[in-house]
Homo-oligomer: A and B are copies of this chain.
Amino acid sequence: MKRTSRDIRTANRYEVLRQIIATSPTSRQELAAATGLSLATVATLVGELLDLGMITEVGFEDSAGGRPRGLVAVNASGGALIGVDIAETYVHVELFDLALNVLARADEDMRPGESRPEQVVSHVAAAVGSVVAQAGIEGARVLGVGVSVPGQVDRDTGISEYAPNWDWHDVPLLDLLAEHIAYPLYLDNPLRACAVAELWFGAARGRGDAVVVNLGTGVGAGLVLGGGLHRGVSNSAGEWGHTTLVLDGRLCHCGNHGCVETYVGAPGIMQHLRELSPGSTLLHPEDQTATIDALAHAVTANDPVAVKVVRDTARYLAAGIADLVNLFNPEVVVLSSWVAATLGEPLLAEVREAVARHALRRPLAATEIVLSPIPTDPVSLGAATFALEGALQSVGQRTARRTAPARSRTAPPS
C-alpha cells in the first residue's frame, strides 16, 4: 500500500510509544533524538498519549542548569491488553498491562480432531474469561483482544479465509468470537504476530529492515520493511512457508509441491525423523510438542539420529533463509516461535553455518541471524500488540473506536 500522511502519523505514534515503553522514564528531548522526529511532533504525540492515559508525567530530569525537562513513563495500569494465540493443538491466552508485563495466563488444550470453529471459539472464550478473572480487573479497562489464527485472514472483515491445517474456508471468526467476548477484537495470523512482537519488543526494534521467521506447525516470514510491518495489498504477505524449495518435492497441504513448510514445519521435521528412524523413541506420533522436545534433549545428549534430523532441518531452513537474505537484504533475521525456541542454539549454529554457504556475500555481510530474545510466547505478545496498535490508531477518532477493524458487542464482558 502507498503510505498516506495519516499512515505516517500512526507510524510515528507507534514509534514514540514503543520508545517510551523501552526506556521509561524518558523526556521529549530524548524521544526526539531516538526517533528522529522533531521536538514539536514528539510533544504533540506525547500529549495524545497522556490524554489517552497510556503514559503519565513522572517528574523532572536533573539538569545541569537550564530548564528542567519533564519526564514521562508508560502508565502500566492505564489499561489491559489480551493476546490470544490459537495454534493447531492449543489455545494460549495472556493478559498484559500497558508495559506489556504478563498479569495472567490461561491455556486450553485442543484434542486432535477438535477443529470446528465453534469448538475453537469456546476454548478462546473460556481462556479470555479466565485471564480477566485471574487479573481481577474491570472489563472496562481492557482496551482490546488481539487474536492470532493460523492461515490467511482478512483482518478488516475478521474472516479466517483459509486455515490449511483445519481446512477452514471463510470462517467469520471475529463474529463468532464477538458472541462471547465484549472487548474490541483484532484478528491476524502468527507470522505477523511474531513480526510485530519483534518490532515492538524484540530483535527488530529500531531496525529498518528485518525478517522474522516463524517456526511452528506452520511456517512464515513476517516482513519488517522501512521500520513497519509489510502486509501486502491484501494482508497476506510473508507466506514464505509456501514458497518452493524443492521443485516437484513433497506434497504440501496448500496443493503445491516442495514448499519450505513441508520440510521445516514441525510435521515436516517429524516426517524426516520417521523416515530416518521409523521406530525412534523420540517420535510421539500424535504430539508435535513432545517430539520436538525429545529431539532437543537428544541433541544435547549427542544422539546421532537427533543430530542428523536437526542438521538436515537446518540445511533446508538455511536454503530458505538465504533466499530471504538475497531478496530483502535485511539487517536481521530472527528465528521465532516454539520450534525455534525449543531447538534453540544447536539449530541456530547449524543455520548460521549453512546460510553462509548459500547466500550472496554482500547481503550476507549485512545480516545477523538471531534467536528471538522474547522470553514469553511471542504470538500472544504480538496479538496483544495488535490490540495496542488498534487503540493507538483510533486516536483522534475515539468515537469510532468500537467500529471496524475492531469488533465488539455492547453486552457486558463474559
Chain A residues bordering chain B, tally (CB within 8 A): 61
Cross-chain pairs A/B with CB under 8 angstroms, 24 sampled: A1-B208, A2-B226, A2-B227, A3-B226, A4-B36, A162-B361, A223-B327, A225-B230, A226-B226, A232-B363, A233-B366, A233-B367, A234-B363, A236-B362, A239-B329, A244-B319, A244-B320, A244-B322, A244-B323, A246-B246, A246-B247, A247-B249, A247-B316, A247-B319
A273 and B127 alpha carbons, distance in the complex (Å): 61
Q: Which of B8, B256, B327 contacts A8 (CB 8 A)?
A: B8
Q: Closest CB of chain B to A167's CB: distance in Å?
A: 13
Q: Closest CB of chain B to A265's CB: distance in Å?
A: 15
A226 and B230 alpha carbons, distance in the complex (Å): 8
Q: Which of B225, B235, B329, B358 contacts A226 (CB 8 A)?
A: B225
Are A360 and B233 closer than 8 Å at their CB atoms? no
Are B360 and A329 closer than 8 Å at their CB atoms? no
Q: Which 6 A-B pairs have the closest CB atoms?
A: A232-B329, A243-B323, A239-B326, A237-B329, A2-B208, A2-B227
At the interface, is chain A mostly helix, strand, loop or mixed? Answer: loop
A254 and B322 alpha carbons, distance in the complex (Å): 13
A336 at the interface (CB under 8 A from B): no
Are B243 and A327 closer than 8 Å at their CB atoms? yes
Q: Which of B2, B161, B223 contacts A362 (CB 8 A)?
A: B161
A221 at the interface (CB under 8 A from B): yes
A209 at the interface (CB under 8 A from B): yes
Residues of chain B lying within 8 A (CB to CB) of residue A329 = 231-237, 239
A5 at the interface (CB under 8 A from B): yes
Are A234 and B360 closer than 8 Å at their CB atoms? no
Residues of chain B lying within 8 A (CB to CB) of residue A226 = 1-3, 225-226, 230
Are B366 and A5 closer than 8 Å at their CB atoms? no
Known: A5-B38, A233-B330. 8 other contacts (CB 8 A): A152-B360, A231-B329, A232-B366, A233-B329, A240-B326, A244-B319, A247-B319, A256-B322
Residues of chain B lying within 8 A (CB to CB) of residue A3 = 208, 226-227
Q: Closest CB of chain B to A274's CB: distance in Å?
A: 20
Residues of chain B lying within 8 A (CB to CB) of residue A245 = 244, 247
What is A's interface to B at a CB cutoff of 8 Å? 1-5, 8, 36-38, 152, 154, 161-162, 207-209, 221, 223, 225-227, 230-240, 242-247, 249, 254, 256, 316, 319-320, 322-323, 326-331, 357-358, 360-363, 365-367
Residues of chain B lying within 8 A (CB to CB) of residue A246 = 246-247
Interface centre among A36, A209, A327 (most CB of B within 10 A): A327
Are A239 and B327 closer than 8 Å at their CB atoms? yes
Residues of chain B lying within 8 A (CB to CB) of residue A365 = 234
Q: Closest CB of chain B to A195's CB: distance in Å?
A: 13
A360 and B220 alpha carbons, distance in the complex (Å): 13
Are A327 and B221 closer than 8 Å at their CB atoms? yes
Report the nearest B residue to A153, measured CB to CB: B362
A328 and B238 alpha carbons, distance in the complex (Å): 6
Interface centre among A5, A223, A244, A328 (most CB of B within 10 A): A244
Are A327 and B330 closer than 8 Å at their CB atoms? no
A245 and B209 alpha carbons, distance in the complex (Å): 24
Are A36 and B225 closer than 8 Å at their CB atoms? no
Q: Closest CB of chain B to A1's CB: distance in Å?
A: 4
Are A326 and B249 closer than 8 Å at their CB atoms? no
Q: Closest CB of chain B to A155's CB: distance in Å?
A: 12
Q: Closest CB of chain B to A37's CB: distance in Å?
A: 7
Are B4 and A242 closer than 8 Å at their CB atoms? no
A327 and B259 alpha carbons, distance in the complex (Å): 12
Residues of chain B lying within 8 A (CB to CB) of residue A232 = 209, 328-330, 363, 366
Q: Which of B8, B236, B320, B362 contacts A162 (CB 8 A)?
A: B362
